[in-house]
Structure 1
Amino acid sequence: MPLNYSQYQEEVTQDVADVLKLASCQPILFVGSGFAKRYAGGPNWRELLALLAKDCPLVDKDFAYYEQAYSYDYKKIGSIFTDLYREWAWGKGRPRFPADFFNGQYKSDIFIKYAVSENLKSLGPKKGSYGSEVLDAEIAALKKISAHSVITTNYDTLMESIFPQYERVIGQQILRKPYLAIGEVFKIHGCITDPQTIVINEADYSRFEQDHKYLSAKLLTYFVEHPLIFIGYRADDPSIKKILYDVDRMVRIDIKGDYELVPNIYILERDQNITEGSYPAREKVISVGADTNIRIKNISASSFEWVYKAFGQAGSLEKIDTKLLRALMARSVELVRSSIPKKHVEIDFQTLEHAVNSGEEFAKLFGVTSLSDPSKVNLSYKYLLSGVAVALGLKKGWNDAQKLLNILKNTDSFDMKASDNKYHISIPSSKTGVIHRYSEAAVDLLRKVKNGEAYIIDRQELDLNEAAKAAAS
Structure 2
Amino acid sequence: MDIKEYISNFTNHPVLFVGTGISLRYLKNSFTWDSLLEKISYIVYQNEEVYLDIKARCTKIGGGFDYPRIASILENAFDDKLKKERHGEFSFINDSYYQHIKEGNPISRFKLFLAHLFSDLTIKNSKKEELDLLKQLSNNISSIITTNYDRLLETISNFNPLVSNDILLTNPYGSLYKIHGCILKPEKIVITAEDYEKSKYQNELIKAQLLSLFIHNPIIFLGYGIQDENVNGILKTVFNYVGDNQEMIKRIRNNFLLVEYEEDSENTIVSDYDLKIDGVTIQIKKLKTDNYSSLYKALIEAKYPISAMDVKKVQSIMYDIVKKTTTKADNNVKEVVIVDSKEQIKNSDRILVITYGNRDTVNTIKQTIFKERVIRTHLSADDFIANYFEILDNKDIETIKVIDNITISSHQYFPIYGFLGVYNKLKNKVKIKKIQQDILNKFMASENKKKVVKFPQYNDIKDIYSDPNIATSFKHPCVMWNVWNDNIGLDNLEKYLRDYPNEDKKDSKYRRLVSLYDLKKYGSK
Q: How far did 1:50 drift?
A: 1.3
Q: How far did 1:325 drift?
A: 5.3
Q: How far did 1:90 drift?
A: 2.6
Name 1:66's counterpart in structure 2: 54
Correspondences of 1:134-145 after superposition (within 5 Å): 135-145=127-137
Using the alignment, how far apart are the partners of 2:174 and 2:8 within structure 1? 21
Counterpart among 155, 159, 165 of residue 166 in structure 1: 159
Counterpart among 21, 24, 40 of residue 34 in structure 1: 21
Contact 1:168–1:187 under 8 Å retained in 2: yes
Counterpart among 153, 156, 177 of residue 147 in structure 2: 153
**What's the secondary structure of 1:154's corresponding residue?**
coil
Using the alignment, how far apart are the partners of 1:326 and 1:59 within structure 2? 55
Name 2:36's counterpart in structure 1: 48
State TM-score, norm by structure 1: 0.61
Contact 1:226–1:264 under 8 Å retained in 2: yes
1:118 counterpart letter in structure 2: H
Contact 2:159–2:174 under 8 Å retained in 1: yes
Contact 2:164–2:188 under 8 Å retained in 1: yes
Contact 2:133–2:296 under 8 Å retained in 1: yes
Contact 1:271–1:301 under 8 Å retained in 2: yes
Q: How far did 1:273 drift?
A: 5.7
Name 2:104's counterpart in structure 1: 105
Residue segments in structure 1 that go unaligned for 5+ positions in a row = 1-7, 317-323, 336-363, 389-426, 432-473
**What's the secondary structure of 1:262's corresponding residue?**
helix
Correspondences of 1:44-443 after superposition (within 5 Å): 44-57=32-45, 62-71=50-59, 72-93=65-86, 95=91, 96-97=93-94, 98=96, 99-103=98-102, 105-107=104-106, 110-125=108-123, 130-132=124-126, 135-145=127-137, 146=139, 147-163=141-157, 165-175=158-168, 178-252=169-243, 262-272=253-263, 274=265, 282-288=271-277, 290-314=278-302, 327-329=316-318, 369-370=334-335, 373-375=336-338, 377-378=339-340, 384-385=345-346, 429-430=371-372
Using the alignment, how far apart are the partners of 1:60 and 1:254 within structure 2? 51
Residue segments in structure 2 that go unaligned for 5+ positions in a row = 60-64, 305-312, 324-328, 350-368, 374-525
68 and 56 in structure 1: CA distance in 2 versus 1, 3 angstrom threshold? same
How many residue pairs were aligned?
326
Q: How far did 1:70 drift?
A: 1.5
Using the alignment, how far apart are the partners of 2:316 and 2:125 within structure 1? 36
Q: How far did 1:85 drift?
A: 2.3
2:261 counterpart letter in structure 1: R
Using the alignment, how far apart are the partners of 2:188 and 2:347 within structure 1? 35
**What's the secondary structure of 1:214's corresponding residue?**
helix
**What's the secondary structure of 2:257's corresponding residue?**
strand
2:71 counterpart letter in structure 1: G
61 and 271 in structure 1: CA distance in 2 versus 1, 3 angstrom threshold? closer
2:39 counterpart letter in structure 1: L
**What's the secondary structure of 1:196's corresponding residue?**
helix
Contact 1:58–1:85 under 8 Å retained in 2: no
Q: Which has the higher helix share?
A: 2
Contact 1:285–1:295 under 8 Å retained in 2: yes
Percent identity between the two aligned chains? 23
Name 1:451's counterpart in structure 2: none
382 and 89 in structure 1: CA distance in 2 versus 1, 3 angstrom threshold? farther
Deviations 1:112-150 (A, max 9, x none): 10010111111342xxxx321xx2232222222222111
Deviations 1:50-74 (A, max 9, x none): 1222333598953222111221211
Q: Which has the higher contact order (CA 8 A, sep 6+)?
A: 1
Using the alignment, how far apart are the partners of 2:214 and 2:39 within structure 1? 34
Using the alignment, how far apart are the partners of 2:5 and 2:35 within structure 1? 38
241 and 182 in structure 1: CA distance in 2 versus 1, 3 angstrom threshold? same
Using the alignment, how far apart are the partners of 2:120 and 2:70 within structure 1? 25
C-alpha RMSD over aligned residues: 3.5
Q: How far did 1:43 drift?
A: 0.5
227 and 86 in structure 1: CA distance in 2 versus 1, 3 angstrom threshold? same
Using the alignment, how far apart are the partners of 2:111 and 2:253 within structure 1? 37
Using the alignment, how far apart are the partners of 1:254 and 1:262 within structure 2? 12
368 and 88 in structure 1: CA distance in 2 versus 1, 3 angstrom threshold? farther
1:77 counterpart letter in structure 2: I
Contact 1:150–1:185 under 8 Å retained in 2: yes
Using the alignment, how far apart are the partners of 1:75 and 1:237 within structure 2? 14
Using the alignment, how far apart are the partners of 1:368 and 1:69 within structure 2? 68
168 and 274 in structure 1: CA distance in 2 versus 1, 3 angstrom threshold? closer
